[in-house]
Amino acid sequence: MPAESGGSVMSTRIAVLGTGIMGAAMAKNLLKAGFEVGVWNRTRRKAEPLAEDGAMVAANPEEAAEGADFLITMLPTAEVVGDVVGDGVLGALARDGVWLQTSTVGISGCGELVKLAERAGVHYVDAPVLGTKQPAEQGELVVLASGPEELKERCEPVFDAVGRRTLWLGPEPGEASRLKLVANNWIDGLLGALAETIALARALGVDPERFLNIIEGGQMDSPYAQMKGRMMIKGEYPVSFPLELARKDVGLILEAAAGRALGMPVSEAVASHFDRAIESGHGQEDMAAIYEGVQSS
């Protein structure tokens, strides 16, 4: 029974497609909150541990979605989301089912997925998230949501299970994806500047730890700089946000800016650093490995 018609969390079924870093953590928190969760992942063995938390591990996306009140997609790109979801998955949802699209897909990607939902007669909420592996594991994501106002209340318990805060941005899907690109541009620019700063410190014979120490706790500091900066200094990049996906996001940002005739030379440079890091084999590591791209430039 869908939650809005008097059903409890316990009787609300959610399908999660994609149990990578983010999807697996979100599925766990949904289970912890008492939802019934069906999961599917391309590489099944990565989804299987979720069975211990009470998830039904499905053999295919349609099986996960069968009779679900909510569909959550947490996959790399709009193309992959479209391929995985297809018509079969949307048709398998419960009547009045809602698709919460949480992957970062950009503006045109969001538009394509909205069309897919419309064709299938399924409600669509554009719901990208802010936060990485640890906030996802702790249920501390920030959910940026846009979609029909009448779905807001119904979606709240789901978003509350995965996040500490939901910003409902308006009735039009796309609003949330636009804000997500803006936020990611800030992070990507910061990361690029941080990598160049650490490279500069080393080139000048300055201990980069000293740089992190002098900004620590002051107005120039950011927790992000401390965390990612230490990874760059050590040259160790345990993955929270795969670099290849961060590069994908810069591509979405540049595409969106180009559509508005806005030049973004800083983001272009960040994209080149990411590309060099990928060429030298760091695509699957954390985005902090952008430093390796700066080093090789």
**Binding flags for ligand NAP, 246-275, as an x/- string (CB under 6 A):** ---x--------------------------
| Burial readout 59-76 (b: 16 or more C-beta within 10 A, e: otherwise) | eebbebbbebbbbbbbbb
By CB under 6 A, residue 158 contacts ligand NAP: no
Q: How far apart are CA 108 and CA 174, in angstroms?
A: 9
For β-strands 163-170 and 141-146, DSSP reports them as parallel
* Contact track, ligand NAP, 118-137, x by CB under 6 A: -----------x--xx----
CB 14 within 8 A of CB 58: no
Count how many residues are written for the chain.
297
- Using alpha carbons, select from 222, 193, 198 the residue that is nearest to residue 208: 198
By CB under 6 A, which span of 158-166, 213-221, 234-242, 265-273 interacts with ligand NAP?
Answer: 234-242
- Closer Cβ to ligand NAP, 133 or 230, answer by number: 133
> Rounded to the nearest whole angstrom, what is the least distance from the CB of residue 129 to ligand NAP in the complex?
5
Under the criterion CB under 6 A, does residue 163 sit at the interface with ligand NAP? no
Smallest gap from residue 284 Cβ to ligand NAP (A): 8
The CA-based dihedral angle spanning residues 178, 183, 188, 191, taken in that order and rounded to the nearest 10 degrees: 180
- For the question of residue 28 being annotated catalytic, the response is no
Between 75 and 145, whose beta carbon lies closer to ligand NAP? Answer: 75
* CB nearer to ligand NAP: pick between 3 and 78: 78
Q: Of 20 and 293, which CB lies nearer to ligand NAP in the complex structure?
A: 20
| 2 vs 132 by CB, closer to ligand NAP | 132
CB 58 within 8 A of CB 7: no
- Determine, following the binding rule CB under 6 A, whether residue 23 of this chain makes contact with ligand NAP: yes
* Of positions 13, 14, 20, 271, contacts ligand NAP by CB under 6 A: 20
Told to check if 41 binds ligand NAP by CB under 6 A, we report yes
The verdict on 223 binding ligand NAP (CB under 6 A) reads: no
* Contact region with ligand NAP (CB under 6 A), list: 30-38, 39-47, 200-208, 268-276: 39-47
In the complex, least distance from residue 61 CB atom to ligand NAP, rounded to whole angstroms? 9
Does position 18 bind ligand NAP by CB under 6 A?
Answer: yes
Site residues for ligand NAP, 62-121, by CB under 6 A, read 74-76, 80, 84, 103-104
Q: Which residue is nearest to ligand NAP (CB)?
A: 20
CA angle 109, 75, 157 (to 5 degrees): 95
User: Which of these is catalytic: 180, 228, 234, 248?
Assistant: 180
- Indicate whether 54 belongs to the interface with ligand NAP (CB under 6 A): no
Give the interface with ligand NAP as residue ranges (CB under 6 A): 18-23, 41-43, 46, 74-76, 80, 84, 103-104, 129, 132-133, 240-242, 245, 249
Q: Which residues are catalytic?
A: 180
